[in-house]
């Protein structure tokens, strides 16, 4: 059924214009939710998404190699610029602060799976190259985990087991 609106001019009352429905400012929830999750694969009712990652070597983790450089720079500044004997306490306090920051980053990796993935892995789109996967469950069904991928070969076919 088409809707029409009479012309606003009094001179021509026979002319009718079609009413254009206003576009909603927000899309319906189902459409928005689907667009947000378009690239996540639904596995079953308990798993919301699975993302594959490739693990980096230990020296490439954010909480390892950069802190070696930071420690070396701090000890160079402490010993050669400030002086070891003159600013003994300052050097120890600076080293302790750097150590606390490093310890907090390591603990964040232990506490939060997303931080661990960001600091020690690279997202991998090819599942054959991936070494780990992050499994995110649906709400009220557990917590996210980073699990290693195991591969088996049966009858000439490779199979990835989570």
pLDDT, tens digit (0-9, with 9 covering 90-100), for 44-65: 778 888 888 999 998 888 888 8
Residue among 127, 128, 129, 162 nearest 148 (CA): 162
Q: Is the pLDDT of residue 12 over 70?
A: no
* Run of H or E including 103: helix 88-111
Tokens of 77: 């500044």
pTM above 0.75? no
Tokens of 108: 């964040």
Measured between alpha carbons, how far apart are the two ends of the chain, in Å? 54
DSSP 39: T
What residue spans define the domains of the chain?
43-161
Confidence of residue 32 (pLDDT cuts 50, 70, 90): very low
């Amino acid at each position: 059924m088409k809707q029409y609106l009479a012309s606003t001019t009094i001179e021509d009352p026979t002319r009718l214009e079609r009413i254009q429905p206003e576009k909603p400012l927000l899309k319906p929830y189902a459409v928005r939710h689907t667009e947000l999750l378009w690239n996540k694969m639904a596995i079953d009712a308990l798993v919301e998404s699975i993302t594959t990652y490739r693990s980096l070597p230990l020296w490439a983790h954010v909480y390892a190699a950069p802190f070696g450089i930071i420690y070396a720079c701090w000890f160079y500044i402490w010993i050669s610029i400030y002086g070891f004997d003159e600013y003994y306490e300052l050097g120890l306090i600076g080293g302790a602060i750097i150590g606390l920051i490093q310890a907090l980053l390591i603990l964040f990796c232990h506490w939060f799976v997303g931080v661990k993935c960001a600091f020690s892995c690279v997202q991998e789109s090819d599942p054959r190259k991936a070494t780990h996967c992050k499994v995110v469950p649906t709400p009220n069904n557990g917590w996210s985990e980073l699990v290693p991928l195991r591969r088996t070969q049966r009858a000439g076919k490779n199979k990835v087991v989570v």
